[in-house]
Every structure is written in structure tokens, then in C-alpha cells.
Structure 1
Amino acid sequence: MTTRQTAGLGHMIGGKVAPAAVVIFGASGDLTHRKILPAFYHLQKNGHLPEGMAIVGFARRDQSEPQFREGLRQALEDHSHTHPIDNAVWASLEPHIYYQKGDLANPEDYVRLAERLRTLPEAAAFGRNHLYYLATAPNFFPIVAENLGKAGLDAREGTGGYRRLIVEKPFGTDLPSARALNQILHQYFPEPCIFRIDHYLGKENVQNLLYFRFANSIFEPLWDRRYIDHVQITVAETQTIGTRGAYYETAGASRDMLQNHLMQLFTLIAMEPPASLEAESIRDEKVKVLRSVPTPTPEEVLRNSVRAQYGPGILNGKTVRPYREEDRVSRRSLVETYVCLRLEVDNWRWSGVPFYLRTGKALGHQYTEICIVFHRAPCVLFAHNLKRIARNWLKIRIQPIEGIHMIFNTKVPGQPAIEEARMDFYYRRQDHYFPEAYERLLLDALNGESTLFTRSDEVEQAWRIIDAVQAAWREEDLDRLPLYAPGSMGPVEAEELLRREGRRWGDPPCEQEEELRE
């Protein structure tokens, strides 16, 4: 199968950007080494960074600039998605990487940072163009913004250049905290200068969703309640919570994954056609979807949601202890490691069509997928068949094997019977370079292209829904949650949620898909 090349959603990977100083707060952390620095390396390798760029790491760790650079070089060896590392590319990038020791909570260190930026060799090239990446714990987001303002490094001045802020998730822990954080950030950075990053939006097949829907006349006419029975969105993870017990006790699967990643996929699948591919047109339509989801009552939440924890078992040949026995987890915890939620969109296109969103830890397969499940065809013509005609499925695989799969009914050769068949498209079979999500998102932020970033009202609308779910759960009189076996696809209660409406979850990826991809 071949494809014709066309423009991509957001900024295309192509062409260079204006020089800028990128300041990474929390530069000694895992995110910088695993994602951010490798992304800049690949942007440099592919010719997308201009002369005059500077990357400044800001952290408390006492280390020299050569030590900082050497740590990043080792991170490339460990985390780059291409090997071997091109020494010439690294040699062209390394001299423009700097380290500034500083305390995130100390305003005086930001004054020293401002002076450092003014005296860098590249300062004449990048001028006032500053991109700040908050690779820090969420409690530092408002502190960093305020201290940037005190040092005159914020976006309130309008004398040429730009000051932009990239903020990682989680953006708040509920609706009130998200609103409060927005208010603080807006004191120093107007909304167009804030880039709330969700790396799922940088994935190639997520960006393809709008093109697949609106550029194909064989699908767009079918994209509504008349033809679609229901939609499933799955983000399944095989990992346990690992060392993240303290964080997970405050977040759970609903705050960690449902409020952001799954809601992003949900809005892109359900949105109306935007007026254009401009950022605000697309983001307007995404917000309209969330606003069309009624705030569920406690009774609706308990009827249409499932939460559970993984119990003891064996996963990939290793013994897994139950969630309640993980490090830094309460032995009486009611925090979910699995969540399934049924939502409906109260508008003309989707009225009566359920959307099932699920995510969990310690599951049997690692994948992200959207399943569009169509209504059954009338069966009178094929009444002689012993089994009921299956629904048609359209599966959009986001990761790890990006592709689109169509499941349809066909005749069994030599028999008057029906069986399911499938057609498969795999992105990795195309002769294109596939940028990692952070490559695309960083390049878009440098260009001021906000399509693939989350707007403040979208964040708040998502929290409105999740807050209602959390409030209903708090009212339940439970002393433990249902357990599911590690290596399964979740609790039986999630299966029952669909079964009671005559539906079933889509099958996870099969082993043959790996073979087909090769």
C-alpha cells in the first residue's frame, strides 16, 4: 500500500525556525535526558535548527558545563530512536548547550539567568526569542512563571521577539487548581504564549485523524450516529506503577491518563469539521466536544464507570505484587490503576452513541487504539447463516505499530457462510522519516504553532468531567476496589459494562501484526 505525501497537521517537519534560546528548567531530570535532548539532536540532524540556537539547562545540581554535556551525550546513546549516534551532528550541537546552576524557588538565580542569556555567544542571533520548558514537578509551574516575571524574562513586554512557556502535564489536579494555575500563568504569559504539552498529540497517527476523517469521502459521510454503533478508545500499558507510588496515590489512572491523553483522542474523533487547519479553528471544535458532554450525576458515574486495581500475579514471566503492596502506596488505598468510562456527546452528530474510554497498568498488551464500531447490517438476507453477522470495525492504531485496520464481512470460499476479513495499512512501511512526538512538538513551539497543544478552556472542560467522576467515587462506601490479574486486559466488570449493552471490547494486537509490520 502506498501513500501520497501531503501537508501535515500543525507545523510540518521541514524548514528551519528563527534562532531562539531554549531554557530547560529541571534540566538534570529524566525528561530532559530521555525526551527533550534527543529531540533536539534529531532536529539538528535533520537540518531543522538554525545557526544561533542556544540550549540552557537550569537545575540545582552542582555540575560543570562539560559534565552536563557529557551526561546528555550518554543520554543520547541510551534513548535516541536512531543508532549509531552521528558524532558530527553532536559536535555541531554540543557547543551551543550550556548549564546554569540555580534554585527554582530563588528569584536571584533568575536574575543571573537573564544576565547569562544576554552574554551568550548566540545572543545577537536569538535576541529576545526565549522558549522556556518546565520539565519540573507541577508545584513549580507557578513559581517558575512568577520568578521569570520578576527577572523581566516573561512575555509582558512587547518590544520584539517572543517569550513562550511549555508546560508538562499534569496541569492541575482538578478544576479549581487548573483554573488557579491558568490565572497565575496568565499574569506573566498570555494564552498564545503558553504551550501545554501532551505528547500523544505529537504522534503521527493522532495527527492523521483529521486527514483520515475529512480527506476521504468513503469515511466522512459515515461518521455519525446513523452508521456508528459506538466508539472505543484504549490506552493499555504493561508496566506497573514502578517507583511512582507516591505520585499515583494522588493521581490514579483517571487523573494520570484519562483527563489528558484519552480526552485528546476523544475530542479529535468526535469533533466537527473545523473551518480551517489553523490552530484556533481546530481547538475551538475540540472544546465544543467537551462542552457537549453533560456533567454526569453520581448515579450515572457509578453505572457507567469501572475502576479497579491490579492484584498479585505473573506478568511477562515476572512476579507482580498487588498495587496495595507497592512502595509508597497505602495498604488501604482506593486509588485506581484501571479505569473505564462511558461517555455520550449530546449533539446532533453523536446523540445516543456511547464512547468507551479505558486505560490501565499491568495489562497484557501495550497499545493505544481507537475503534470505530459500525451498526450491524440487516441480517434477513443471510438468515441461513448460523451465526449472527458481525459488525464492521475500523481500528486506528496509535502505538506501538501505527496503522489503520478495517474489519469487514466476506464469504467463506466454497461455502455459503460468512467470515470476517481485514485490510491493514502500516505507517512504518512508508518511505518517510518518522519524527518522535517531542521533535514535532518542540519544533511547533519554536514556530509558535499551537495546534498540537492544549488550550486553557479545553483543560478546564476535561477537568469538569473528571471531577464529577471523582466526586461520585468518593461517595461510594468501599473498603477495596475490584482486582484484575496482571497480564489480563482488566477487570471482568469492564467486560460487563459493554456486555450488558450487547457489545464487546475489541481484540488486542495479535502476534501476526509484528510479522506483518516487518
Structure 2
Amino acid sequence: MVSRVIPVDPFDLVVFGATGDLAKRKILPGLFHRFTVGQMPEDARVIGAARSDMDNTAFQALVRQSLLEFVPNADDLTAELDLFLSKLSYVCVDAKGTKGWDNLVSELRPDTIRAFYLSVTPSLFGAIAANMNAHGIATKDSRIVVEKPFGHDLASAKALNSELRRNFEESQIYRIDHYLGKETVQNLMALRFANSLWEPLWNSTHIDHVQITVAESLGVEGRGEYYDKSGAMRDMVQNHLMQLLCLTAMEPPSRLTPNAVRDEKVKVIEALEPVEQSDIVRGQYRGRDGEGSYRDHAGDPESLTESFVAMKVKVGNWRWSGTPFYLRTGKKLRARTSEIAVVFRDPPHMIFPALEGRRGNALIIRLQPDEGITLRTTIKEPGPGGMRLAEVSLDMTFAEALGADAEAQDAYERLIMDVIRGDQTLFMRGDEVEAAWAWADPIISGWEESRLAPARYDPGSSGPEDALMLMHREGRRWREIEV
């Protein structure tokens, strides 16, 4: 099965920070792929903007090099590559000053969708937004895309939102979280709300607990100084894992519109109960076999910043009362994997003694590395010899079930096309960001006040032993992080 590609309307996309790492690795390769499959119209244009002084030819050469490096088989697409590069131009712009803004004005076409991707540090968001308005670049139909981090805490998130709203309406602001662009994340909504099988079971009566895991095998090498000011809580839990929690726990929206969906997500965050410190485990990886420790990579031998967090979270509403959500994320773990595991309760009366104490049915939604859905169930083992039971999985990997095109589209390119279409469903609203920080801030403040060191754990493990006990003490266990 090959997905149907629907072209978008003509557009001018300005990428601020076009010479940066994110643009070279994700944004421009994503646009190139959308171009090769026919979703970008012929008269679409991409305008790079950055501080570097270069002309169109030099910028196109830079982009060519990036595409050859980060797009598989790009060297086999010579004609497509040349045509895509012909749509690119470049303007040297001073984000905080006046240099280059008039040149950018002259590059933009009237009566064409305008989107502005701010692939720059958040400290420049306000200056760029103000300059756009001052030079008449931003029309009422323009869209502005901003990358995380959306603040460092609640106060800074409110200040950042205020800066953006001084120049743009909320309906024009697209706060991008690439996790929401993953095929499986979007399929979570389809799975829940398009099938009568699941929604009647999607509550505390039938679900024992939910596990959300985002594990990374790499450490913080190369970005340790930045990460040490953030930590796993700010870098992953407050945004990525929070989004997965919201989509798993939210009520059915009244309709599939951006604000209806985001209204329900905000309700989940507002229903989160305060987390006890006894329900949180912080960890920090140690060095082993010649590998540097977190503190080596951070450049601080006394750092108390966590590279791992596991916690038990409760959603205080009618649907989820009594069903805990366990969140887990960390660096230098056994493997790179992201999944949501919905573990169902055992039957109320067990007639098979052999199943006593075994795990119940589970629905596993895999986000990476191989996107797909698995249903773990129990059947009779084939053959004579009595009622011997076996655990099997009904497995659907998107690439196998729907064809190679199912996994070909990167999250960034999908979300960028949503920006052009004006669809904010998969983007965070300002109040949602602030609600997430309002929940996270007391947890982080508690750590900072206590000055307790995170538990140390070995690289290549599943994290600190205390994280296992977080579930074992209640008769549950984490799913293995599989290599």
C-alpha cells in the first residue's frame, strides 16, 4: 500500500538559522523528500536566512552537501536535486539589527502563503518576530514555527509566549515537537477513536497501568554543557513524554479540529496530581571501560544534573483513577527505543493456575526504531498434552504492513507540511506549554533544594536499580529495553 500524497498550496518558507545543524540534518532534507514525492508545488520557494555572508550559489552548494550527507541515495537523484536547489535562495540577515531585512522583504511574494521557521536559539525569537512586523513581512495569514525549548521554567515560558503574542496571534504560532510528527503517535489517536474495540476498555476498570519509555543509547557527548543546564526532566519529560502522556490519557475530542484536540490535552495536564519525591528516581550514568561519565561529558565533576528520570504519575480524573502512568527516559541506556505500553488488568476470575502472577495483555505502541503496534495475548499452545498456554504477539510493523512509504516520511517534514496547510493539531498551544511547566516546576525545585545526587548507573543498563523498585514495590515491572 502506498500512501496518497496531496500537494500543498504554493508557499514561501523562510528558514532562519538555515546554515545550522537542525536545518542541515532535518529541515532541508525533509523538504527535499516532500519535493521528490510531489507534495511541494512547482512554484514553492525556500529562503535561507542566517548571519553568514554568502550568495545564493554558495548556499545552494552548502545545501547540496547536506542533502548528499543526510538523505539516503541522494546521489542517485541528480535531476531532482538540481531542480530542488533551484528553488532555494539566501539572504544574510541580522536577527537583532536591521541588516538584510529589506532584502528579505524583496524576496517574498504577495498573496502567497508565508511560513517562517525559527531554527535559532529561543533568545532570538522576540527580536526576529519584532523585526518581521517592523518590516511588514508578517501578514495576518503568516505562520511562525518555533523550536523547543519553550522556556526553562514557567516564568520564562510565559515571557516567551508574551514576546511571540506581541507580534502574532496564537493561531499563527506553531510550537513544534517532532515526537508529535511520528506516524505511530498520530496512529494512537486513530487506534483509540476510530475503533470501537479499544475505547470501551480505555479506562481504569480495564487498564492496570501505562508505561511510557523514551530510551537513548547515546550520552550527552558534544552537548554536555547545554544539557547540564537542562537535564532529562526539562529536556524530555516536560515536553516529549508529556505529549505522549496527553495523547494516551485524553478524552475523545468532540471533533478532529486543532483546538478541540488541544483542549483535551490541556485537561490531562491540569488533572495531573503532584508527584511525591518517593515516586521519582533520578539517575546519572557513570563511566565504564574507558567511556567517559556524564560528569566528564558535562565538564563538571560535581554535577547533580540527571541524565535519567523515572516517575509514577497519577491523572486525577474519573477515567484514570487508580491507574498509574510510569514515565522513563534516559541517556546511555541499553538501546534506543521509544514506546507506550498499555498493560491491561488480569481477568477477574482466573481459571488457569499456570497464569497466576504472569503479566496481563498489553498493547505496545512502538515509536522507534521500528514504528508499529503489538498486542500481547495468551493462547493455547498447539498440539496434544492438555491445556498448555503460550504468550504470543500480534505484530504490525508499519513498513511491512503498509509498504516502505509508511516509514519514509520523517516527523519534521510531516509537521512542516502541516504548517503550510495551516493545521495546528500536532503543535502545542501556549497554555499547554505553560500548564506543563506549572506541573514540572515544583518537581525540579524540590531537587534543587534538596541537593541530593542522582543515583549512578552503568552505561548500557536499564538505569538505576531504584527505578526497578519503583514498580517492583507495587508488583509490577518495566518492560525490557530490548537491543
Give the counterpart letter for 1:65 in structure 2. N
Aligned to 2:121: 137
1:83 to partner: Cα distance: 4.6
Is this contact kept in 2: 1:376–1:392, CA < 8 A? yes
TM (norm. structure 2) is: 0.95
2:299 to 326, 329, 332: 329
Give the counterpart letter for 2:439 in structure 1. I
Give the counterpart letter for 1:425 in structure 2. M
For residues 481 and 67 of structure 1, the distance between their equivalents in structure 2, rounded to whole angstroms, comes to 47
Aligned to 2:365: 396
1:23 to 14, 19, 23: 14
Structure 1: where are the runs of 5+ without partners? 6-11, 118-122, 511-518
Aligned to 1:311: 286
Aligned to 1:346: 316
Give the counterpart letter for 1:431 in structure 2. G
Aligned to 2:332: 362
Q: CA RMSD in A?
A: 1.8
Is this contact kept in 2: 1:76–1:85, CA < 8 A? no
Q: In terms of mean alpha carbon deviation, does 136-145 or 200-209 score higher?
A: 136-145
Give the counterpart letter for 2:370 in structure 1. I
Give the counterpart letter for 1:469 in structure 2. I
After superposition, residues 288-307 of structure 1 pair within 5 angstroms as 288-294=267-273, 296=274, 300-307=275-282
1:92 to partner: Cα distance: 1.8
Q: In terms of mean alpha carbon deviation, does 346-355 or 83-92 score higher?
A: 83-92
Pair 1:459 & 2:433 matched: yes
Is this contact kept in 2: 1:390–1:420, CA < 8 A? no
Is this contact kept in 1: 2:399–2:405, CA < 8 A? no
Is this contact kept in 2: 1:367–1:399, CA < 8 A? yes
Identical aligned pairs, as a percentage?
42
TM (norm. structure 1) is: 0.89
After superposition, residues 367-382 of structure 1 pair within 5 angstroms as 367-378=337-348, 380-382=350-352
Aligned to 2:375: 406
2:394 to 423, 435, 451: 423
2:142 to 163, 169, 185: 163
Pair 1:486 & 2:470 matched: no
Structure 2: where are the runs of 5+ without partners? none
Aligned to 1:120: none
Pair 1:499 & 2:483 matched: no
Give the counterpart letter for 2:395 in structure 1. D
Give the counterpart letter for 2:22 in structure 1. L
1:72 to 57, 60, 63: 63
After superposition, residues 78-157 of structure 1 pair within 5 angstroms as 78-81=69-72, 83-117=74-108, 123=109, 127=111, 129-155=113-139
Q: Go from structure 1 to structure 2 and tell me whether the alpha carbon gap of 1:446 and 1:395 turns closer, same or farther (over 3 Å shift).
A: same
After superposition, residues 225-244 of structure 1 pair within 5 angstroms as 225-244=204-223
Query: 1:254-292: CA deviations, max 9, x gaps?
Result: 111111111111100001111111111111111111111
Pair 1:440 & 2:414 matched: yes
For residues 45 and 239 of structure 1, the distance between their equivalents in structure 2, rounded to whole angstroms, comes to 32
For residues 50 and 470 of structure 2, the distance between their equivalents in structure 1, rounded to whole angstroms, comes to 47
Q: Go from structure 1 to structure 2 and tell me whether the alpha carbon gap of 1:219 and 1:67 turns closer, same or farther (over 3 Å shift).
A: same
Give the counterpart letter for 1:303 in structure 2. S
Pair 1:287 & 2:256 matched: no
For residues 143 and 325 of structure 2, the distance between their equivalents in structure 1, rounded to whole angstroms, comes to 35
Query: 1:454-474: CA deviations, max 9, x gaps?
Result: 111111111111112101111
For residues 165 and 421 of structure 2, the distance between their equivalents in structure 1, rounded to whole angstroms, comes to 20
For residues 202 and 303 of structure 1, the distance between their equivalents in structure 2, rounded to whole angstroms, comes to 34
Q: In terms of mean alpha carbon deviation, does 481-490 or 48-57 score higher?
A: 48-57
Report the secondary structure of 1:107's partner residue: coil
1:78 to partner: Cα distance: 1.2
Report the secondary structure of 2:229's partner residue: helix
For residues 4 and 422 of structure 2, the distance between their equivalents in structure 1, rounded to whole angstroms, comes to 14
1:426 to partner: Cα distance: 0.8
Aligned to 1:514: none
Query: 1:108-165: CA deviations, max 9, x gaps?
Result: 4323322343xxxxx3xx535321100111211112112212222234xx5xxx2110
Q: Go from structure 1 to structure 2 and tell me whether the alpha carbon gap of 1:251 and 1:13 turns closer, same or farther (over 3 Å shift).
A: farther
For residues 75 and 54 of structure 2, the distance between their equivalents in structure 1, rounded to whole angstroms, comes to 27
Aligned to 1:44: 35
Aligned to 1:468: 442
Is this contact kept in 1: 2:350–2:356, CA < 8 A? no
1:96 to partner: Cα distance: 1.6
Number of positions where the alignment pairs a residue of Structure 1 with one of Structure 2? 478
Query: 1:95-115: CA deviations, max 9, x gaps?
Result: 220111122221343233223
Query: 1:213-235: CA deviations, max 9, x gaps?
Result: 12222211110000000000000
Is this contact kept in 1: 2:365–2:373, CA < 8 A? yes
Query: 1:433-469: CA deviations, max 9, x gaps?
Result: 2311111111110111111111111111111111121
Give the counterpart letter for 1:33 in structure 2. K
For residues 103 and 320 of structure 1, the distance between their equivalents in structure 2, rounded to whole angstroms, comes to 41
Aligned to 1:320: 291
For residues 141 and 261 of structure 1, the distance between their equivalents in structure 2, rounded to whole angstroms, comes to 21
Report the secondary structure of 1:313's partner residue: coil
Is this contact kept in 1: 2:286–2:459, CA < 8 A? yes
For residues 230 and 264 of structure 2, the distance between their equivalents in structure 1, rounded to whole angstroms, comes to 28
Report the secondary structure of 2:405's partner residue: coil
Aligned to 1:8: none
Is this contact kept in 2: 1:105–1:144, CA < 8 A? yes
Is this contact kept in 1: 2:379–2:391, CA < 8 A? yes
